[in-house]
Amino acid sequence: MSYDNKGNPPPYSAPPPGFQPAAYYQPPPPQPMPPPPQPQTSTVIITTSRPTVMPLSEDPTRTTCPSCHADILTTVKYQPNSCTHIWALVLCLFICWPCVCVPYCMNSCQNANHYCPNCNAFIGSYRN
């Protein structure tokens, strides 16, 4: 830029070379917008199976193990319960001492706990 002798800038009457006033400026044509991405739809199918309710009894029962899914005949282990202890107490109170152990020897006075013979998972209990 050139200044005159007094330090003033040149007058603004003539535009510098290559200058285009804003009134003549044309913006570039708009670019077409790409289409928005389509959401991907996927179908998820969830299948659930209800656990089969198997009737357990005092004896070994044929069923499917919920843990290892094998077709098995359950192993039964008998365990004394509160009813077993009450019968033993009643026999003790009526002075039937020799018979106090009878409820502990009878499987019908105890709970029958069923286990899988393959994986030893607890399957259920039959309460008398």
Q: How many Å apart are CA 84 and CA 109, to the nearest integer?
A: 6
More confident residue, 95 or 118: 118
Run of H or E including 62: strand 62-64
User: Is this prediction's pTM over 0.75?
Assistant: no
Cβ proximity of 76 and 114 under 8 Å: yes
CA-to-CA dists, residue 101 to 34, 37, 78, 85, 86, angstroms:
87, 79, 15, 10, 12
More confident residue, 55 or 10: 55
Model confidence pLDDT, tens digit, residues 31-79: 888 888 877 777 777 776 655 556 788 889 898 888 888 899 999 999 9
Q: How many Å apart are CA 80 and CA 88, to the nearest integer?
A: 11
